[in-house]
Amino acid sequence: MEYFLTEEQKTIKSLARKIAEERVLPVRAELDEKEEFPWAIIRDLADADMFRVFVPEEYEGLGGGCLELCLVVEELSRVCGGVAATYAVNALGSYTLIEYGTEEQKKRYLPDIAAGKKLTAFAISEATAGSDASAIRMTAEKVEGGYRLNGTKQFITNAGEAELYTVIVLTDPSRGARGASAILVEKGTSGFTFGKEEKKMGIRASVTRELIFRNCLVPEENLIGREGMGFIQAMRLFDRSRPGIGAQAVGIAQGALEAAVDYAQQRIQFGQPIISLPVVQDMLAEMAIQVEAARALVYAAARTVDSGARKITEESAMAKVFASDVAMKVTTDAVQVCGGTGYMKDYPVEKMMRDAKITQIYEGANQILRNAIAVELRKRKARTE
């Protein structure tokens, strides 16, 4: 399919593929097995300027948008969804700063993020606040010299490894979500520690931990934007970042499709390669259609985000929901096509099936996002009546 990518976008995509094939592929099974954080690959991505992609040019980035980020995430995911998550979360952890940060804050942090010297993370989820992200309880009390943070964030990607955390906290608990604010916390701040490492079904090369805050004091200038804007900032962030989850899903599905085609071509049963069997052909063709449709939707949503359009909730939710459902379906079918071999850990498709699952859950479970899309449909209907 012709997606009319610019020369620069093609370069980004092909270099990301090269890194994925040369540096990620040889170690992906081991990273998955050992649940190891992929530091060596992070270094390679940094050397190749991949962390510059999503940072504005004024801060030593390359000034790419949502689409450029999606291209990198897709190519990394084609080989390993876990490495891709580790990379992509850096954009998630930087957007709020990029969008709402002061010149001083940006100058202070973004060049190191662009160089890949500092990894970032974003934390909204808590034990009580999953799908209902507005139910956060963590507090930031205004005190002499800044904010005192108390509470625990749950399921935070890159926790422990990242240097910089954008944390959504209640600066005014009496106002609920309207009292939420985004605050930057650096690793090493006293009173800020990490909980146990979660053991996961998939994306096991990425790390997921709790952030624990006990009377953690951060200076006032770590507030991003205004007090009370945290929840809105987070929702705007997810509108922009969801196509990235879609891209992760497309990449995983693409990898599974390729593995299934390879296998079907090599596997001889009943005296012929199984790819000659109409049922297998039918499955592979359906997988290919689904992957391409998902890719087209993800790129279109990413371009909508990059167009600067204000209302993008629907488009980005559609891309995430559709692509993640495709990834689950396609990876499951890939295991089916590969039969018993596909079920074994020596073959990559079982990992892809495990990796695909998370894309239906995080950054808004697909049910929640379908709700959101339906809400928009109803609003539009109401406006025309």
Partner 1 sequence: MNVVVCLKQVPGTTQVKIDPETNTLIRQGIENIINPFDTYAIEEGVRLRERFGGKVTAISMGPPQAETALKEAISLGADEGILLSDPAFAGADTWATSCTLFMALRKLEKYDLIICGRQTLDGDTGQVGPQLAEMLALPFIAYVSQIEEVADGEMRVRRMVEDGYEIMESSLPTVLTVVKEINTPRLPSLRGIARSKSASIPVWGVEELNADPDKVGLSGSFTRVVRIFSPQRVCRGEIFQGDVEDQVDCLISRLKDDGFL
Ligand X SMILES: Cc1cc2nc3c(=O)[nH]c(=O)nc-3n(C[C@H](O)[C@H](O)[C@H](O)COP(=O)(O)OP(=O)(O)OC[C@H]3O[C@@H](n4cnc5c(N)ncnc54)[C@H](O)[C@@H]3O)c2cc1C
Asked whether the beta carbons of 273 and 266 are under 8 A apart, the reply is yes
Smallest separation, CB 266 to ligand X (Å): 33
CA-CA distances (angstroms) from residue 266 to 45, 254, 262, 340, 384?
34, 19, 6, 14, 57
Q: Which is nearer to partner 1, 114 or 353 (CB)?
A: 114
Nearer of residues 68 and 161 to partner 1, judged by Cβ: 68
Region from 44-52, 154-162, 223-231, 329-337 binding partner 1, contact rule CB under 8 A: 44-52
Minimum distance from CB of 161 to ligand X (Å)?
12
Segment interacting with partner 1, rule: CB under 8 A, options 30-38, 46-54, 187-195, 371-379: 46-54
Q: How many CB atoms lie within 10 A of CB 306?
A: 18
Binding-site string for partner 1 from residue 51 to residue 70, where x marks contact by CB under 8 A and - marks none: -xx--------x--------
Select from 46, 225, 216 the least CA-distant residue to 120.
46
Residue whose C-alpha is closest to residue 291's, from 332, 322, 337: 322
Q: Is 48 in the site for partner 1 (CB under 8 A)?
A: yes
Quick one: 61 or 348, whose CB is closer to partner 1? 61
Is residue 21 within 8 A of residue 79, CB to CB? The reply is yes
H-state helical runs in the chain? 7-19, 28-34, 39-47, 66-79, 81-100, 103-114, 230-266, 278-306, 313-343, 349-359, 366-384
Q: Is 15 in the site for partner 1 (CB under 8 A)?
A: yes
How far is C-alpha 303 from the geometric centre of its chain's CA atoms? 17
For 211, the token pair is 């952030």
Q: Which of the choices ligand X, partner 1, none does residue 15 contact, using the CB cut-off of 5 to 8 A by kind?
A: partner 1
Contact window for partner 1 (CB under 8 A) among 48-56, 151-159, 310-318, 369-377: 48-56
Selected binder of partner 1 within 6, 26, 39, 47 (CB under 8 A): 47
208 binds, among ligand X, partner 1, none (CB under 5 to 8 A by kind): ligand X
Work out whether 371 is an interface residue with ligand X (CB under 6 A): yes
CB of 94 vs partner 1, minimal distance in Å: 17
Phi-psi region of 349 (alpha: psi -120 to 50; beta: other; left: phi over 0): alpha
Residue 128 engages ligand X in binding (rule: CB under 6 A)? no
Please identify, using beta-carbon distances, which residue of 17 and 137 lies nearer to partner 1. Answer: 17
The three-state secondary structure class of 110 is helix
363 belongs to the catalytic site: yes
What minimum distance in Å lies between the beta carbon of 19 and partner 1? 6
> φ and ψ at 84, to 5 degrees?
-60, -40
For ligand X, the binding residues in 196-215 under the rule CB under 6 A are 200, 208
Residues 143-162 that bind ligand X (CB under 6 A): 155-157
Alpha-carbon span 144 to 152, nearest angstrom: 22
Spatial neighbors of 344 by CB under 8 A, at least 6 apart, are: 350
Residue 361 contacts ligand X per CB under 6 A: yes
Q: Does 12 bind partner 1 (CB under 8 A)?
A: yes
Q: Using the rule CB under 6 A, is 341 a contact of ligand X?
A: no
Q: Does residue 147 contact residue 217 with C-beta atoms inside 8 Å? A: yes
| Residues with catalytic function | 363
Which residues sit at the interface with ligand X, rule CB under 6 A?
89, 121-125, 130-131, 155-157, 200, 208, 358, 361-363, 365, 367-368, 371
